[in-house]
Chain A
Amino acid sequence: MTTAHESPAAEVRDLHIAFGSGRDGTDVVRGVSLALHRGRVLALVGESGSGKSLTSLAFMGLLPAGARVASGSVRVEGADTGEFTPRQWRAVRGTRIAMVFQDPASALNPAFTVGWQIAEPFRRRLGDSRARAREKAVALMETVGIPEPERRYHAHPHEFSGGMRQRAVVAMALALEPAVLLADEPTTALDVTVQAQILRLLAERQRAAGLAMLLVSHDLGVVARLAQEVAVVYAGRIVEQGDLDTVYAAPAHPYTRGLMDAVPEAAAGEPRLRSIAGHPPDPGRVPDGCAFHPRCAFATARCTTERPLLRTLADGRRAACHHAESVLAGTAPGGPYGGSDL
């Protein structure tokens, strides 16, 4: 269970991220609050454009050009990063909070050996001698399951398979023993058997080091392998959050339910998948009221005008839906905005 009394290793509060500035700015993340606790994995689930990747980048102070934190706060181990200078950010990245990126091919520099890149944080951040840094890097390569690390230390990224490259990227992220690990679609670029290996590695390292981990993923099966808690984002807001077991057993938000129904595994033998009609709104053109209402089978007139707040339900999870109880009970109010099965 969430240890509410312990202060989170990292958190964002009422985070708004905007592209552009001033009146023309478009909020892409619109009030997300998340707390990452030691020894726990929180999964942030959503589709393209939902703002899940931006949220994870905000934890690192690495928002892409044009994007900025418009309001809200990002805290790493209690420190408000809002006032951080670039120098302060550099001191935190890698040592307190680190990231595993989606594409291992672009996360490694093709011009340097893999070993040299894994050893770099030891040389540059800890001031280790070359020999000492090399020793530590080889040990780390062993830890993340790179066979023959002594020999492979001298290999360049192109000589590694995709899975080995991602192991190297994980090694680089873990080098300085951060407290928080952000993994943004860490296995999306990998083959399924390699994905299984990397998920096993992440689970093992997370448990061994008691890491607070944020897993950003679109894949509900991948999430089920790693996370204890899940937060579902839609159009820049969290629509449902709770224990993975609770949410997966019976989603309380129609969007979560739609996502779970759309997974082919859930259709088991049925000729048609239950898809969600329409597509997510463009940022800047988010519908009034509940952002999901044009696609929702449960939507009523109230949903078109009044934005549902994220509220705690009887079973402890939180959902931002006026009709969450009906969704759980399976009694749809229907209504004039009923979505159709496309």
Chain B
Amino acid sequence: MSVEARDGALLKVEGLHAGYVHRVGLARHRVPAVAGVDLAVPAARTVGVVGESGCGKTTLARAVVGLRAPFSGRVEFAGRDLGTVSRRERRRLARELQMVFQDPFTALNPRMTVAELIAEGWRIHRGTVAPADQAAETARLLGLVGLGSEHAERRPHELSGGQCQRVSIARALALGPRLIVCDEAVSALDVSVQAQILNLLADLQEELGVSYLFISHDLDVVRHLAHEVVVMYVGTVVESGPTDEVFRNPQHPYTRALLSAVPSLRDRPGLPSREIPLHGDVPSPATPPSGCRFRTRCRLATEHCARETPPLVPRPGVGHPVACHYADGAGTTAYPAGNGS
């Protein structure tokens, strides 16, 4: 508790390396999908993690909740290092550290009813809710996530995607979590339903003080929900800071390109595009470029970028950390704006 109280972070990730092991014959190669990530999630706040396929955001989520053992680095939750706590303590902490997955259909056991799915955690963590109170608690949780008691006896295939995701959230809430890791939790949902779930998550944060590590490829969603944002590219953080600041004044060339590509309601066919096009493909995390990992696709890249990895630190004129040798706060002068094609 003391560490938590000192710097206010509920979750702290430090120097995290995690990924998968690639076997070639007898040789085993570690492929770090996450290669040295630091981040912190304060209590009752939302930190968004954005990036494209292969940036390591899902590996990060899984390493945080313990579904994937890190190669190195620390994951600290509520002041406890999850890598060194006893199994018993880990189990207790698991109640407070829950996850909601992208695809609610595969995340829910199709043979269980909604009531059983919600109560499952209480069977594993005995004593959380007394058996006599479970029916009432299930009804309360269903109400909390906007479902009715008529849903309790249904199975996942009888529910819509949005309803299944509400069940997933109710399941996570059943154990009284302090942090919920949401991995693309609204990505499979229709926009009107997505808005309901986002509002629900915001309400739950206000009422229960729960924090979210919110992983998403959807920048508009993260901009709306997250207090702080972390931008990832090929396993590393390229930029992080208060959401509003990063979105208003992106400094890393990758963040700029990413933001410029987001479709807008104000776009029209034939109108000049704001898009800063990116060329080439995302490098493999198994064989990342030397130095800055974005340099192979960056218009600003120099020899220096190939030799030296830019650290994630605040730069002069920039309020938040950026991992680019050339971020100078002006940005628009250093990095050419969209070519108006």
Chain A residues within 8 Å of B, Cβ to Cβ = 41, 47-48, 161-164, 191-197, 199-200, 203, 218-222, 224-228, 244-245, 248, 258-260, 262-267, 271-277, 279-280, 342
Contact = CB atoms under 8 A, between A and B. Distances in A.
A260 B266 CA distance: 12
A264 B248 CA distance: 16
Given A225-B269, A263-B220, A273 B195 contact: yes
A193 B281 contact: no
A264 B224 contact: yes
B263 A222 contact: yes
B221 interface: yes
Contacts of B162: 279
Given A41-B269, A196-B260, A228-B269, 19 more contacts: A47-B191, A47-B192, A48-B160, A164-B281, A191-B52, A192-B262, A196-B273, A199-B263, A218-B190, A219-B191, A221-B265, A225-B268, A226-B269, A260-B265, A264-B224, A271-B202, A275-B193, A276-B196, A342-B146
A222 B269 CA distance: 10
Given A48-B190, A193-B52, A265 B264 contact: yes
Interface string B244-276: 000000000000011011111111110001010
Contact of B263 (A41, A195, A258): A195
A228 B282 CA distance: 33
Contact of B261 (A162, A193, A248, A279): A193
A221 B190 contact: no
Contacts of A164: 281
21 contacts: A48-B160, A48-B190, A161-B282, A192-B217, A192-B261, A196-B260, A203-B269, A220-B191, A221-B263, A225-B267, A225-B269, A260-B265, A263-B265, A264-B220, A264-B221, A265-B264, A265-B265, A275-B193, A276-B192, A279-B163, A280-B190
Interface in B124-138: none
B264 A275 contact: no
Contacts of B264: 221, 224, 265
A272 B205 CA distance: 13
A108 B264 CA distance: 30
A192 B219 contact: yes
B166 to A, nearest CB: 10
A219 B263 CA distance: 9
Interface residues of B, number: 43
Nearest to B275: A196
Central interface residue in B190, B191, B202, by most chain A CB within 10 Å: B191
Contacts of A192: 52, 217, 219, 258, 261-262
A273 B217 CA distance: 19
B66 interface: no
B113 interface: no
Interface string B148-162: 000000000000111
A196 B195 contact: no
A266 B266 CA distance: 10
Nearest to B220: A264
Contacts of B267: 221, 224-225
B192 A262 contact: yes
A279 B198 contact: no
A224 B268 contact: yes
A259 B192 contact: yes
Contacts of B291: none
B278 interface: yes
A29 B273 CA distance: 35
A240 to B, nearest CB: 15
Dominant secondary structure of chain A at its interface with chain B = helix
B31 to A, nearest CB: 17
A272 B264 CA distance: 19
B84 interface: no
Nearest to B186: A264
Contact of B223 (A162, A194, A228, A264): A264
Contact of A224 (B191, B220, B266): B266
B118 to A, nearest CB: 20
A41 B267 CA distance: 14
B5 to A, nearest CB: 28
Contacts of A273: 195, 198-199, 224
A244 B268 contact: yes
Given A196-B275, A224-B266, A191 B217 contact: yes
B72 interface: no
Contacts of B261: 192-193, 195-196
Contacts of B224: 264, 267, 273
Contacts of B341: 200
A265 B224 CA distance: 8
A221 B271 CA distance: 14
A306 to B, nearest CB: 24
Contact of A272 (B199, B219, B266, B268): B199
B199 A200 contact: no
A218 to B, nearest CB: 6
B191 A259 contact: yes
A98 B87 CA distance: 57
The 7 A-B residue pairs with the shortest CB-CB distance, nearest first, are: A221-B263, A275-B195, A47-B190, A262-B195, A191-B52, A196-B261, A273-B195
B265 A266 contact: yes
A260 B264 CA distance: 11
A194 B341 CA distance: 16
Nearest to A271: B202
Interface string B95-110: 0000000000000000
A275 B282 contact: no
Contact of A227 (B192, B193, B217, B269): B269
